[in-house]
Structure 1
Amino acid sequence: MAKILSIEVEASQVRVAEVEVRGKKGRIYNCFCIPAPQGAVEDGQIRDTKTLGENLKAELSQRKIKTKKVYFVTGSTRIASREVRIPFVKANRIQSIVEANATDYFPIDVSKYVLSYSVIDVESQRLEDGKEETKQYHLMVYAAPKAISAAYSEFAENAGLTMTGITYTGDSIYHSVKDEYAKGTHILVKVEYTGTSITVIRDGELTLQRNINYGVDSA
C-alpha cells in the first residue's frame, strides 16, 4: 500500500500523520499538529474549509510532504451509531444490506446521511442438533450527515488533496486497541477541547460508544 495521510480534525487542532501500511504492519513517516482557527470547526463539522485547507497545504509544502491521498477521522456527535447483526454474506453485499435496513436502524431521513459500517466480529452459532453451524456478522453501523462528508471533501480540495474516505474516531480507537484488551472490561475516555468520546470494550468486543458535548473548554 502506498503512503496515505490520516487526518483528524478537532475544534482546537488538526492532527496529521503520513503513514504506510503493509499487511498488518504500519510505518509513520511524519506526524504533526497545526492549530485550527477559532470557529473553523464545530462538533466535527468544518465551517471554514478554505482557511483550514490553505493552512494545511502550506504546512505540507513546508514539510516537503508530497502524499496526496487522505483518509479523514471525525468525532462529531452528529454521527449516529448502532450495533446490528446480519446474516453471513459475501463481503461485497454487506453495504447493500446495511442500506436496505437503514430505516430500521435509525429514526432519521437516511437520504440525508452517508451510511458506513465496521465489522466487530463474525459470530458462530451451533443449531440444537449440534451438527450445523450458522454464522452472522456483528457490525457497528454509522450514519453521518452528508453535509459533514461534503465539507471534508471541500477541505481536501482546498489543501490540494484527494479524499479517499472518512471514518468515525470511536471506530479507529476500537480497532487500534481491541487486541490489547482481549480480556476484561476497559473504558477509554478521549477528552478534546469541546467534546469527549467514551468507548467501552469487554473481552475484545465493543460494547458501548458515546460522545458528550463537554470537554476541556467546559472544565
Structure 2
Amino acid sequence: MAANTNIDAVSKDLEEVSLKTPNSTWSDYDCNIAEKQCRFCFGDEESDRKSGLPSSWMTPCKCDGSIKWVHERCFKQWLNLAPFPQQSACSTCGFIYRKSWKMKSLSEWSCPPLRITFWDIIEIGLDFYSTFKLFRGMWQMLEGKKAVFGQICYFIFWKTFIFTDRRILYYKSIAAAMATSFFEPQVRDVDDEKQK
C-alpha cells in the first residue's frame, strides 16, 4: 500500500511539472538553432534588430549548420585580415570562393596589402629556383646534354613537393591580393548561385 501511494505521489508531481512547462518538442529547439548566427562575430538576427545594424547575410562557402551564415561586413573584414590561402578558399570545407571583380575609382587605388614573412620569401625563392632548374633541365634534355630518366625523376619531385595544390592556391592568393590594389573583390553568395 505504501508503494502505491509513492507511485501516486510521483505521477501527481509529474502531472504538475508537465502543466507548468510548455509542451516543447525537439523541432522547437531546431527552430532556434536554425536562426542565422554569424560565425565570426557570433551575432544573430535578433541582436542585429536590437542594435539597429544592417544585417546582410551570406553563405560564402558550402559549410552547413551553425557555421553556414556570416554577416557580409564581417566576412569582408575577415578576408582583409586572413592568411593568403584562406582568402581564396574556406579552411573548413575547402570550397574556393566565387569572386567577381569591380574596378575601383582612381582615387581608391593603393599599394597591394601583401603581408609576406621572411619564411614566405625563402619559400618563394626556392619555388622559383626549382622551377627554373626544371625548365633549364628540359632544355638541356632536348639538346641531348641531360638524361631523360633523370629529368623525369626531377619532374616527379617538382610536381610532388613544389607544384602542389597548396602552393598554387598560395600564388593565386598573392595575385588576388595584388589585384585588390585596383579592383574590389566581391564574394558571391553560394545560396544565390544555387537558386539560379
TM-score, structure 2 normalization? 0.20
More helix per residue:
2
TM-score, structure 1 normalization? 0.19
More strand per residue:
1
